[in-house]
Structure 1
Amino acid sequence: MSERGALRTRLQLLAREIAKFGAVGAIGFVVNAIVFNLCMHVAHLAVVRSGVIATAVAIATNYVGNRYWTYRDTDSGRRSRELMLFLLFSGIGLVIENGVLALSHYGFGYTSTVADNVAKNVVGLGLGTVFRFWSYRTWVFRALPAREAVQTAESFLGDAPQPYARNNSGS
């Protein structure tokens, strides 16, 4: 395969990964926004506390979506390590997301519902999402090593019947 063809294939795979990550993230965004507003307006919790609770619920939703759909073909042999790293990087994303909210609400004095939602669910979530995408694909949902992937594929091929094998018996 030419370098240009290889680059095109890599870009197509990256675009597919970003689309899946985005779809999972969109579901997480809806969960996050609903829980955030319920905590603030129904449970009457403080704004940052509401943000942290909402982000934690969205993190759980996103783990399931990313593990079993976006990155389902990656190495899952060390699931406890994967989950630990996912929670670590999600926690950093939570701090980014809710840090923007705290800065906007308490630092700059933008305390309206619209301002809180924009700070948390647009600016903070946007920054947190870029960080999460990079960290998840780099550290958490790692691709299978090439040798393992080839051996796995060969094991499937070795067990498969050969429907088009030639019969050398003369018939």
Structure 2
Amino acid sequence: MLSNLIRKLLRGQTFREWFVEFLQFCTVGLGAYIVDVGLFNLLAYSLPIDLPGDKSLTAKIVSVTVSVIFAWIANRLWTFKKRRNENKGREFAMFALVNLGGLLIALGCLGFSRYVLHLTTQFADNVSGNIVGLVLGTAFRYVMYRYFVFSPASRREKVASCGEKTADA
């Protein structure tokens, strides 16, 4: 039973191959994190411009959007290059939807901190949006990238239409 679960989670990879993929994902994630946090703090606290709405929430939306584009390119070309989708538009749309989920997780944490706990300092915003929201959002993203976004559509559609099980299912 446990070996069956491990085999399904590894999706035909050895543990070493999976571990290298996971480290690449974490490296890309670190780069995206630097883009996200740096741009968030620049927009929310450093530039003398007024963003529409709540400045912190708007800055978070912009910073996550830019970091998502960076992460898609890096994951597509490096982390999941052997399993990327031929249809780039479909893959990016799925990637964007997954990251919308990640954004909602980060915004939920930030909004809860600001509007429920009434913690409105730069430190509180960074802890709630860029640490708690990031950890929860990253776990969500990795699972979704691995099993849905960077999984060739033809294999998923074949399984869905034929009811067959493959090594990926």
Instruction: Please say if residues 85 and 91 of structure 2, whose CA atoms lie closer than 8 Å, have aligned partners that are also in contact.
Output: yes
Q: Which one of 34, 52, 55 corresponds to residue 38 of structure 2? A: 34
Q: TM-score, normalised by structure 1?
A: 0.76
1:143-158 correspondence to structure 2 within 5 Å: none
- In the TM superposition, residue 10 of structure 1 has moved relative to its aligned partner by 2.3
Quote the RMSD (CA, aligned, Å): 1.9
Which residue number in structure 2 is paired with residue 10 of structure 1? 14
Distance 1:53 1:103 in 2: 19
Q: Which one of 136, 140, 145 corresponds to residue 131 of structure 1? A: 140
- For each residue in 1:43-84, what CA deviation from the matched residue of structure 2 results, as whole angstroms up to 9, or x when unmatched? 353111111111111101101110001011114322221111
Is 1:82 equivalent to 2:86 in the alignment? no
Which residue number in structure 1 is paired with residue 160 of structure 2? none
Deviating 4+ runs (over 4 angstroms): none
Count of aligned residue pairs for this structure pair: 140
Which residue number in structure 1 is paired with residue 167 of structure 2? none
Distance 1:141 1:72 in 2: 9
Q: Which one of 67, 76, 81 corresponds to residue 67 of structure 1? A: 76
Unaligned runs of 5+ in 2: 156-169
1:95-134 correspondence to structure 2 within 5 Å: 95-134=104-143
Distance 1:44 1:23 in 2: 33
Which residue number in structure 2 is paired with residue 155 of structure 1? none
Which residue number in structure 2 is paired with residue 50 of structure 1? 59
Tell me which structure has the larger Cα radius of gyration. Answer: 1
